[in-house]
Amino acid sequence: MAKLSRGTVKDFPGFDARTDAETLRKAMKGLGTDEEAVLKILTSRSNAQRQEIAAAFKTLFGRDLVDDLKSELTGKFETLMVALMKPARLFDAHELKHAIKGAGTNEKVLTEILASRTTAELRNINQVYLEEYESNLEDHITGDTTGYYQRMLVVLVQANRDPDGRIDEGLVEQDAQVLFKAGELKWGTDEEKFITILGTRSVCHLRKVFDKYMTISGFQIEETVDRETSGDLEKLLLAIVKCVRSVPAYFAESLFYAMKGAGTDDDTLIRIMVSRSEIDLLDIRREFRKNFAKSLHHMIQKDTSGDFRKALLLLCGGDDE
């Protein structure tokens, strides 16, 4: 049975790729560009439909739709429209490659994607990465990161997390005790224990472990991770814990901090809005409203402007004020 999508973007009913391709060509032809026409079409079609539009565009005009978007649009609005055109199955691998490429590594992207994706999604990422870039994601990660942070990423990239199944209460108790001894009870921290347990146990098992940990130690596991680790490893372990508890809540928090305060982290905003728009953006909106006492729609409205804002608000869908 197909999993019910909790996305805001769905297949557009009565879709006609050629008509859309013609509308887009008209919007970008000649002097000036009709940005409104471009954003209305691209935010209201599913990713699969956008691929059909790109094929029709090439068939009708002998032109590459993405190249035209890049030459006609500018700034973050251009980045958002181009991101929407990226085939869904390539999106994560592409983001990871760009996070690793060149001088400096964007740990934020590595952490966000690898901590939040399911085992099946991680396996797909590995396969696509190999096809697209002719090298292993793992090799690129180990060449570009160090220490326990690297080791935690490598564990996640194996995509061997236990599947959800019958809970073994004995193992729950044991894992909680091991984490307690490895952190709070130890002078220094045994990071390896955290890496193995957080990286390999099933999600439903870990939820029970976190509850048991609270009972044994009197601390939330997040408090211990915060106290016992630091830097990129801490951020990664916290992201894993948050995603175990609730992936939509994790993304709601990431979106909130991308917009909170001075300046906006546009890259994170675009990456999450695009990558979750057909998966769980409705759930993310609900968590956002619950945890931050304002709607995602309201915050985007307040924090962005112009065509970029219009497009993001259409992807967001309704306002939950």
pTM to 2 decimal places: 0.94
* Tens-digit pLDDT profile for residues 152-194: 999 999 999 999 999 999 999 999 999 999 987 777 678 999 9
6, 55, 104, 226 from 208: Cα distances, Å: 25, 48, 38, 20
Q: Is residue 1 part of a domain?
A: no
Tracing tokens 């970029």 back to the chain, one arrives at 308
Q: Is residue 308 part of a domain?
A: yes
Residue 280 maps to which CATH number? 1.10.220.10
Q: Is the same domain home to 145 and 102?
A: yes
Residue where a domain terminates, one of 47, 66, 85: 85
Contact between 230 and 197 under an 8 Å Cβ cutoff? The reply is no
Confidence band for 4, pLDDT divided at 50, 70 and 90:
low
Q: Is the same domain home to 36 and 52?
A: yes
Tracing tokens 């992807």 back to the chain, one arrives at 315
Residue 103 has pLDDT above 80, yes or no: no
Domain extent for 228: 169-245
Position 1 scores a pLDDT of 38
Q: Is residue 123 part of a domain?
A: yes
Residue where a domain terminates, one of 245, 269, 284: 245
Position 318 scores a pLDDT of 85
The closest of 142, 132, 156, 130 to 105, measured between CA atoms, is 142
Q: Is the same domain home to 95 and 79?
A: no
Position 320 scores a pLDDT of 75
Confidence band for 3, pLDDT divided at 50, 70 and 90:
low
* Tens-digit pLDDT profile for residues 43-66: 999 999 999 999 999 999 999 999
Q: Is residue 163 part of a domain?
A: no
Amino acid letter for position 290: K
Contact between 262 and 269 under an 8 Å Cβ cutoff? The reply is no
Q: Is the same domain home to 259 and 283?
A: yes
Amino acid letter for position 245: R
Q: Is the same domain home to 240 and 255?
A: no
Query: What share of the chain has pLDDT > 70, as a percent?
Result: 98
Q: Is the same domain home to 111 and 72?
A: no
Q: Is the same domain home to 81 and 94?
A: no
* Tens-digit pLDDT profile for residues 208-234: 999 999 999 999 999 999 999 999 999
Q: Is residue 48 part of a domain?
A: yes
Q: Is the same domain home to 198 and 255?
A: no
Q: Is residue 218 part of a domain?
A: yes
Average pLDDT, the chain: 94
Q: How many CB atoms lie within 10 A of CB 293?
A: 7
Q: Is the same domain home to 100 and 119?
A: yes
CA distance linking residue 276 with residue 132, whole number of Å: 22
167: which residues sit within 8 A by CB, 6+ positions away? 204, 205, 208
Instruction: Using alpha carbons only, give the angle 141, 145, 151 rounded to the nearest 5 degrees.
Output: 80
Q: Is residue 12 part of a domain?
A: no
Q: Is residue 6 part of a domain?
A: no
Give the total number of structural domains in the chain: 4
Contact between 122 and 156 under an 8 Å Cβ cutoff? The reply is yes
Residue where a domain terminates, one of 112, 132, 158: 158
Q: Is the same domain home to 34 and 54?
A: yes
Residue 2 has pLDDT above 60, yes or no: no
Q: Is the same domain home to 222 and 259?
A: no
Three-state DSSP string of the chain: CCCCCCCCCCCCCCCCHHHHHHHHHHHHCCCCCCHHHHHHHHHHCCHHHHHHHHHHHHHHHCCCHHHHHHHHCCHHHHHHHHHHHCCHHHHHHHHHHHHHCCCCCCHHHHHHHHHHCCHHHHHHHHHHHHHHHCCCHHHHHHHHCCHHHHHHHHHHHCCCCCCCCCCCHHHHHHHHHHHHHHCCCCCCCCHHHHHHHHHHCCHHHHHHHHHHHHHHHCCCHHHHHHHHCCHHHHHHHHHHHHHHHCHHHHHHHHHHHHHCCCCCCHHHHHHHHHHHCCCCHHHHHHHHHHHHCCCHHHHHHHHCCHHHHHHHHHHHCCCCC
Q: Is the same domain home to 232 and 292?
A: no
CA distance linking residue 81 with residue 73, whole number of Å: 9
Contact between 277 and 4 under an 8 Å Cβ cutoff? The reply is no
* Tens-digit pLDDT profile for residues 131-147: 999 999 999 999 999 99
